[in-house]
Structure 1
Amino acid sequence: MTDRLPHEKGFHVSWDQLHRDARALAWRLDGHGPENGGWRGVVAITRGGMAPAMIVARELDIRTVDTISVKSYEHQDQHEVRVLKSPDAELMGDGSGILVVDDLVDSGKTVGLVREMFPRAHFATVYAKPQGRPQVHTFVTEVSQDTWIFFPWDMALQYVQPYRGRD
Structure 2
Amino acid sequence: MSGPADKAFPVSWDQFHRDARALAWRLAGIGTWQAIVCVTRGGLVPSAIVARELNIRVIETIGVASYHDYKTQGDLQVIKEVSPQVVGLDGGDGSAVLIVDDLVDTGKTAKIVRNILPKAHFATVYAKPMGRPMVDTFITEVSQDTWIYFPWDTGLAFQPPIAEPPNR
What's 2:19 paired with?
21
**Is 1:40 matched up with 2:21?**
no
What's 1:92 paired with?
87
- Equivalent residue letter for 2:154: M
Moved over 2 A (4+): 5-8, 158-161
String of CA shifts for 1:112-146, please: whole Å, max 9, x gaps. 11101110111000000000000000000000000
What's 1:121 paired with?
120
Is there any run of 5+ residues in structure 2 with no aligned partner, and where? 161-168
Tell me how far 1:160 sits from its aligned partner: 7.6
What's 1:164 paired with?
none
What's 1:30 paired with?
28
What's 1:49 paired with?
43
- Give the distance between the partners of 1:158 and 1:80, measured in 2 at CA: 31
- Give the distance between the partners of 2:81 and 2:105, measured in 1 at CA: 21
Tell me the secondary structure at the aligned position of residue 6 of structure 1. Answer: coil
Tell me how far 1:31 sits from its aligned partner: 3.4
Q: 1:157 to 1:97 in 2, by over 3 A?
A: same
Tell me how far 1:54 sits from its aligned partner: 0.5
- Give the distance between the partners of 1:89 and 1:120, measured in 2 at CA: 16
- Equivalent residue letter for 1:133: R
- Give the distance between the partners of 1:139 and 1:158, measured in 2 at CA: 28
What's 1:108 paired with?
107
Q: Comparing 91-100 with 14-23, which one deviates more in the overlay?
A: 91-100
**Is 1:155 matched up with 2:154?**
yes
**Is 1:140 matched up with 2:139?**
yes
Tell me the secondary structure at the aligned position of residue 124 of structure 2. Answer: strand
String of CA shifts for 1:21-53, please: whole Å, max 9, x gaps. 0000001100322xxxx1101111000000001
- Give the distance between the partners of 1:12 and 1:95, measured in 2 at CA: 33
Q: Comparing 79-88 with 19-28, which one deviates more in the overlay?
A: 79-88
Q: TM-score, normalised by structure 1?
A: 0.87
**Is 1:68 matched up with 2:62?**
yes
Contact kept? 2:6, 2:145, Cα under 8 Å: no
Q: 1:160 to 1:21 in 2, by over 3 A?
A: closer
The counterpart of 2:75, out of the listed 80, 96, 101, is 80
Q: TM-score, normalised by structure 2?
A: 0.86
Q: Comparing 40-49 with 91-100, which one deviates more in the overlay?
A: 91-100
- Give the distance between the partners of 1:160 and 1:48, measured in 2 at CA: 23
Tell me how far 1:91 sits from its aligned partner: 1.4
Q: 1:27 to 1:82 in 2, by over 3 A?
A: same
- Give the distance between the partners of 2:115 and 2:144, measured in 1 at CA: 23
Tell me how far 1:159 sits from its aligned partner: 6.2
- Equivalent residue letter for 2:116: M
